[in-house]
Structure 1
Amino acid sequence: MGHSLFVPFGGAEMQVREIDAASVLVLPVCYEVAPSYGIGSREGPIHLLTASAELEDVDEQTLVHWGRVGIHTLPALAPTPRPEPAMEEIRAASARCLETGKFTLFLGGDHAITIATVKAAAEKYPDMGVLQIDAHLDLRDSYNGSRLNHACVMRRVADDLHLPFVQAGIRSFSAEEAVYVKNQGLNPIYAHCIDPLDHCWMDQAIAALPDTVYLTLDLDGLDPSVIPGTGTPEPGGLSYRQMVELLRRLGASGKKVVAADITELAKIPNTQVSEFTAARIAAKMFVYLTKT
């Protein structure tokens, strides 16, 4: 399947018609294969985009009119449900976006899309690093019969792409992953080590990254009180304000953030909290990670 469904970020009035005139690209990727617990992330991009039309278009902290950044939303990509060809479809579509040199936000879908989007970004920016916000390490070599599962994202980043990365908000992992962390000398920023009143961990995480950065946000990195609508919620996550402050500091750091993704949104019927909050975070990315 190719591009099929079109819902512009922020509503039709925010859509910049021509890619060349835009500063930001948004690519929704409707993909979910072999989830480990809850389901529904395949439709996550559409729910986030629909909610985005209800956002006020001025950021309350900076007074920036994020709708004037110049956003071009592409029709949703619905890849084949087979992991190997799906990853190539997503990589190719991502590469076309990144080739423009514009900041690109990828909307998942399950976190497995990041395997392909990061690969595309690394092809253009080989010296980049990855900042992962997540409840889980995602360092399994294989899960549910595939090395391209959402639980294997950062293992592919480490072993296949050999990119430097920083993991923050971590509070759930397997014995296999614990061994891998020890053997590789990794230092994830565990959620229980984060003082809610001290943001120094943010500066440490950003400083550990190279000058070019890809940000991957699995929404279960935030606490379920903030984002309950996700497939594998874990208590003890980041607050909304911590997430926003991290974006602010990353944007002010002088690092070049070339792309980001938001994944694992799974709508809960009869409530709009998760998708609206995810859309707010996306708008914050436009404010803090792009030149406005």
Structure 2
Amino acid sequence: MPHSTNSSLEKKIAEFDPNALGDAAGGLYGLPFTVEEAQVVVIPVPWEVTVSYRAGTAQGPAAIRDASLQVDLYDPDIPDAWKLGLAMEEEDDKWAAESHKLRAQAAGYISWLEEGQPSTSAGKHGNVVAEVTRQGEALLKWLQQKAGAHLDAGKAVVVLGGDHSTPLGYLHALAERHAEFGILQIDAHCDLRPAYEGFQYSHASIMYNALQLPQVKKLVQVAIRDLCQQEADLIDHSGGRVVMFHDRFLQEEKFAGKKWRKECDKIIAQLPQKVYLSFDIDGLDPKLCPGTGTPVPGGLEFEQALYLIRMVVRSGREIIGCDLNEVAPGETDWNGIVGARLLYNMANWMAVSQGRLKARDMGKADKDED
């Protein structure tokens, strides 16, 4: 980071009051930092072309940005977290407009599929899949370049969707810079369907597409509670490359008196040293995200999820990148409120794992006796 940027950052830290109300004129969480000054950059991707149930996730980044002004910045584990330098880029209006246009076309095409593909309207939908694929490829390359530029500038990156298809370009950027890494996916769904409903870059295909990268050595899925036979077969025949911790298994362990820390140990043991964290908010109990596109009963509590993330970092593993997706505003601000708090924790603990922040009692969890 250039000296002038360092000086500007230090000056803003000295003058900023973390106890004041969130400044709407400021950045994410009311923080005063620019993208150039920030150590962690959030890239919003307002994209939801292939969602197959409820729409709204394209408004997720804006909802989180608005709700972030209500988040108190003090964290008992990372008291100086706000000093990190966290900033979010402006949304790209081009992608928001393209998503809106293609979403209408894709929705019509999906309805046509559900109606049994009547021949009378086949011509109307003939080019939809090809156009969505073309724009999905363009989005991938755009994000790959944008995220890669931030990584090369020494920054950490969070991708904020939109639907869960959005981070694929970021994964490609990381694959160019890391020989191997694993993915920790917190999600209600496996997202292992190839070209779901004909769409190669579907929100339901993100992890299938991620596995096409040879650098992804392991995919560990947590809180899954909705999958199809094809996905189950893919996991069974992956040779251990994909490991699923189904929500039913986790709940049965809980009912048997097993501690969540022990379950976290099992999850983390499956992860390599470098970890990418992919968080679909529907991995949480839907009372925490009622507006999300495809809610499923069950899932993790908020602090359960945060505990797992902290344990990953305390295990000595490095979170090389992360994404948060499928936050849809719904009828209340609740979805953005939960999403904003989740994003803050994800960004901060990624920074701790990379040595950008220090947390208290980093070894405490490993030393405590059960």
- Asked which structure has the greater RCO (Cα within 8 Å, sep 6+), the reply is 1
CA offsets 1:23-65 (integer angstroms, 9 cap, x no match):
2111111111121111011111111111111101112x32614
Equivalent-residue separation in structure 2 for 1:147 and 1:7 (angstroms) = 38
Q: Is the 8 A contact 1:15 1:73 kept in 2?
A: no
Match of 1:37 among 42, 46, 53: 53
- Aligned twin of 1:105: 158
- Structure 1 residue corresponding to 2:86, chosen from 64, 67, 71: 71
Q: Secondary structure at the match of 2:196?
A: coil
The CA distance in 2 between the partners of 1:48 and 1:161, in whole Å, is 33
Q: What amino acid is aligned across from residue 33 of structure 2 in structure 1?
A: V
Matches within 5 A, 1:106-255: 106-161=159-214, 163=216, 164-185=218-239, 186-194=242-250, 195-196=253-254, 197-255=259-317
Which segments of structure 1 move beyond 6 Å, counting only runs of 4 or more? none
Question: Which residue does the alignment assign to 1:3?
Answer: none
The correspondence of residues 13-52 of structure 1 with structure 2, limited to 5 A, is 14-17=31-34, 19=36, 21-52=37-68
TM-fit CA distance, 1:243: 0.8
Structure 1 match to 2:368: none
Partner of 1:260: 322
> What's the counterpart of residue 74 of structure 2?
58
Q: Deviations over 1:87-146 (max 9, x none)?
A: 222222221222223221110010001222211111112312111110101001111221
What amino acid sits opposite 1:50 in the alignment?
A: D
**153 and 172 in structure 1: CA distance in 2 versus 1, 3 angstrom threshold:** same
Letter in 1 for 2:284: L
Q: How many residues align?
A: 282
- Which of 279-288 and 260-269 deviates more? 279-288
Matched-pair contact (CA < 8 Å) for 1:24–1:70: yes
RMSD: 1.8
> CA–CA distance in 2 between the matches of 1:179 and 1:111?
22
Output the TM-score relative to the length of structure 1: 0.90
Q: Helix, strand or coil: the match of 1:225? A: helix
**CA distances 1:152-176 after superposition (whole Å, capped 9, x unpaired):** 1111111344512211111101121
Query: What amino acid is the match of 2:236?
Result: K
Task: Return 5+ residue gaps in structure 1 as ranges.
Answer: 1-5
Larger mean CA deviation between 197-206 and 140-149 belongs to 197-206
- The structure richer in helix per residue is 2
Which of 279, 284, 289 in structure 1 is aligned with 2:345?
A: 284
Aligned to 1:272: 333
Q: Which amino acid aligns with 2:274?
A: T
